[in-house]
Amino acid sequence: MNDTTGLIVAILICLPAFLLAFQKSSWLVDYLFFVVALNRGVRRYVDWLNGSFNPLSLISLTPIIVGGLATLVVLSELNRRSRQFGSTTTQIILCYSAACAMALVVGFINTRFGAIYALGDYLAPIGLIGFGAFCIDKPRIVDRWSHSVALSAVVVAGYGIYQFYTVPPWDAFWVRAVDFEGYLGELEPTKMTLFSTLNERGPAASYLCSGLILIVLRPGTLWWFRWPAASLVLMAMLLTYSRTTVIQASLACLLFPILNRGSGIIPIAILCMIAAVFGETLLQKLPGGGKAATRVSTIGNIREDGSFQGRLVNMGRAATNALSEPFGLGLGSHGLAARVASKESEGEGDSSGYVESLRTFGWIGFALIVSVLYRSWSRSRTLITSKNLDPNVALFRVWFASGMVALLSGNWLFTATFFWVLVGYVVALSDRLKTSEWKPKRVEFNFEQDLQTSRSTRLGTTMLQNLDTRA
């Protein structure tokens, strides 16, 4: 299919990424988040202008290119900047890369172009881990990344609410083209499920949930706009009607003081009180005929929910299939990539992130992914034991714990999220501490301090000074 407009737009999107990668600039990470968040929305608009839906649109490949460039920068720096890549950091990058490489080969055999189509989501974490490791002594850059992720979530939320109230023609065009009418509701204002600029409501809910966790639990994010932004993102997330993300966000808030030695307990307690007292009333006032309130209310009686029962059946069937697939189905075997490849063995029925990952990577690849996650968690425990109350470490721990629960449902893990930046940051910081004599003193964590006096800036500066004096 001739899609000159799509080709031009894809080149324009990728050109800044090439320039940033050539300079090895940390701004490549900021740019990647916005490309991941917005590229599907741009693609839908271009298809609408062309008057035809292109399932192989080059615009959909832009996250692969931008994420691939970030990954190439990191891999090229592994040897040259070995001091910033400790043994564990290097190992988790290589383990994750090996798992993806094997899954790509298997996926290409099974799904051809579908594997390439899905590669971007799986490739981006490598670059984000590496850049996170680069910047353990540059807290201002990590702060900037957090602002960019939060701002991209605000943009996704803002457009999503506009979409919910108006149903733009390019979005309606796409829903009809992919036969999602019914699944995404009626194509009328307030009767359609919000999916914003993402590829459907599940990924949209997951992206908004990630942004919400970051905004609420990381001090100083978006400065004075922090709580209005959190409210906007929360509203959009609820309009996706995703129960999994409601559970994940709630669990993250509840676990924050538990996992991080009581840090932020007062504001978290206030948020819980507000949710308990006003939560049901606020849900009822959301547009959509109370559908959000109905979906959330079923969480308390989830065992009798038909959707939940169906999910359990699909999980059991997929888990059984995984036992006979030692090499997995490879990349492109699930979701929209599978639809592009039009394969019967696409595994779209997998309803658990764990089972989907096992079927994608196979036994060996899945073991490598588990190893990456286990090592990153164990390193965060080491940092907490050493009384390091860096907010990035605290955020990683609650994101990890709540995210592992969320993986029982959808698969939020393999895409460009701030979580992978935190993985690189935490593991590299642990490697640095392991090779130095510096023992951090306990510092009280102030949940409400702004960016100018944020704990990450002051802790990072203190750490660097102490490490330099002992080098």
- pLDDT level of residue 303 (50, 70, 90 thresholds): low
Query: Quick check: 415 pLDDT over 60?
Result: yes
Mean pLDDT of 201-206: 90
Q: Please tell me the least confidently modeled range out of 8-12, 93-97, 310-314, 339-343.
A: 339-343
Query: Quick check: 354 pLDDT over 70?
Result: yes
- pLDDT level of residue 58 (50, 70, 90 thresholds): confident
Q: SS3 helix, strand, coil % of the chain, rounded to 5?
A: 75, 0, 25
More confident site: 240 or 271: 240
Q: Tell me, what's the pLDDT at 81?
A: 64
Radius of gyration of the chain (CA): 22
Query: Quick check: 5 pLDDT over 80?
Result: yes
How remote is the C-alpha of 97 from its chain's centroid? 18
More confident site: 309 or 333: 333
Q: In sequence order, what are the beta bridge partners of 182?
A: 185
Q: Tell me, what's the pLDDT at 258?
A: 83
Contacts of 7 (CB under 8 A, 6+ apart): 58
Q: Is 182 helix (H, G, I), strand (E, B) or coil?
A: strand
CB atoms under 10 Å from CB of 223, counted, come to: 11
Query: Quick check: 317 pLDDT over 70?
Result: no
Q: Tell me, what's the pLDDT at 463?
A: 40
More confident site: 123 or 437: 123
Q: Tell me, what's the pLDDT at 48?
A: 93
Mean residue pLDDT of the chain comes to: 79
Q: Tell me, what's the pLDDT at 31?
A: 95
Per the CB < 8 A criterion, the answer to whether 322 and 359 are in contact is yes
Mean pLDDT of 342-370: 73
Query: Quick check: 170 pLDDT over 80?
Result: yes
Q: Tell me, what's the pLDDT at 290?
A: 58
CA gap 23, 73 in Å, rounded: 9
More confident site: 156 or 345: 156
More confident site: 228 or 310: 228
Q: Tell me, what's the pLDDT at 456?
A: 44
Domain range for 389 is: 4-470
CA gap 107, 98 in Å, rounded: 14
The DSSP symbol for 185 reads B
- pLDDT level of residue 314 (50, 70, 90 thresholds): low
More confident site: 235 or 270: 235
pLDDT, tens digit (0-9, with 9 covering 90-100), for 133-145: 888 888 899 999 9
CA gap 271, 163 in Å, rounded: 28
Q: Tell me, what's the pLDDT at 77?
A: 79
Q: In sequence order, what are the beta bridge partners of 192?
A: 185
Q: Is 192 helix (H, G, I), strand (E, B) or coil?
A: strand
Q: Please tell me the least confidently modeled range out of 41-45, 128-132, 298-302, 374-378.
A: 298-302
Q: Please tell me the least confidently modeled range out of 119-128, 266-275, 284-293.
A: 284-293
Query: Quick check: 377 pLDDT over 90?
Result: yes
Total count of domains within the chain:
1
CA gap 150, 217 in Å, rounded: 12
Q: Please tell me the least confidently modeled range out of 22-36, 40-54, 156-170, 446-460.
A: 446-460
Residue with token string 């504001």: 267
Q: Tell me, what's the pLDDT at 313?
A: 63
Mean pLDDT of 428-439: 69
pTM of the model: 0.82
More confident site: 81 or 87: 87
More confident site: 280 or 129: 129
- Helix residue ranges per DSSP H, 344-454: 353-385, 391-406, 418-434
- pLDDT level of residue 462 (50, 70, 90 thresholds): very low
Query: Quick check: 299 pLDDT over 70?
Result: no
Q: Tell me, what's the pLDDT at 306?
A: 52
Q: Which of 19-23, 116-120, 268-272, 289-293 has the highest mean pLDDT?
A: 19-23
Query: Quick check: 214 pLDDT over 80?
Result: yes
Query: Quick check: 443 pLDDT over 50?
Result: no
CA gap 145, 152 in Å, rounded: 11
Q: Which of 260, 253, 175 is nearest to 215 (CA)?
A: 253
Mean pLDDT of 189-209: 90
CA gap 397, 363 in Å, rounded: 26
